[in-house]
Chains A and B, each alone.
Chain A
Amino acid sequence: QVQLVESGGGVVQPGRSLRLSCAASGFIFRNNGMFWVRQAPGKGLEWVGVIWYHGSDSDYADSVKGRFTISRDNSNNMVYLQMNSLREEDTAVYYCAKDSATTISGVRYYYMDVWGNGTTVTVS
């Protein structure tokens, strides 16, 4: 079945770096964009960024732009989130999610149809 498994979370001091990984299985990974979404303790969901299926382009939330980088390895079905210059406000559960779309009456609708279980990052 389609599965996403994150890893790499932990406790890190402010200003330090951390790299998260997301292992994908059960679908043709190279055909899909991949997202990172985070959730601070007791808070809602925040879109972090996206990497396109080919890996040559990405986009980021303003809150992480210039500090976080998303990359992918289509040969090994992996996506990564490199987090530099971490701040206490980056403390959250980080989820990777699969980009998906459906065409209805000629209109393309996008959504995140599969999510991983998340990995916890604590900056303190």
Chain B
Amino acid sequence: DIQLTQSPSFLSASVGDRVTITCRASQGINSYLAWYQQKPGKTPKLLIYAASTLQSGVPSRFSGSGSGTEFTLTISGLQPEDFATYYCQQANNYPRFTFGPGTKVDVK
């Protein structure tokens, strides 16, 4: 099974900051990676798929990069509504998706 790790697990940031979250896969997964945002008590929301393709309606301050085993999610200019937990998810073993453990972005 492909395992995903995320770093950091927790991140304190301020509005306007540039935030970077890393996701690493236990084996190469090409660009079969998606990112989701989940706010407390809310449903997960798709942000990015194919490692770098922004889902329709997602603000352009979100971007994704990487391929193989290392990926990043960047938020350029953190907004108040961006404080949430972010999960990466591999789709290399479709339909058997697996998720990373999550990165919580909190207010500094």
Q: A residues within 8 Å of B by Cβ?
A: 33, 35, 37, 44-47, 50, 59, 61, 95, 99, 102, 104, 107, 109-113, 115-118
Contact = CB atoms under 8 A, between A and B. Distances in A.
Interface residues of B, number: 26
Interface of B: 30-32, 34, 36, 38, 43-46, 49-50, 53, 55, 87, 89, 91, 94-102
A46 to B, nearest CB: 7
Chain A binding site: helix, strand, loop or mixed by DSSP?
strand
A99 B97 CA distance: 11
A61 B55 CA distance: 27
Contacts of B55: 113
A124 to B, nearest CB: 21
A36 B49 CA distance: 19
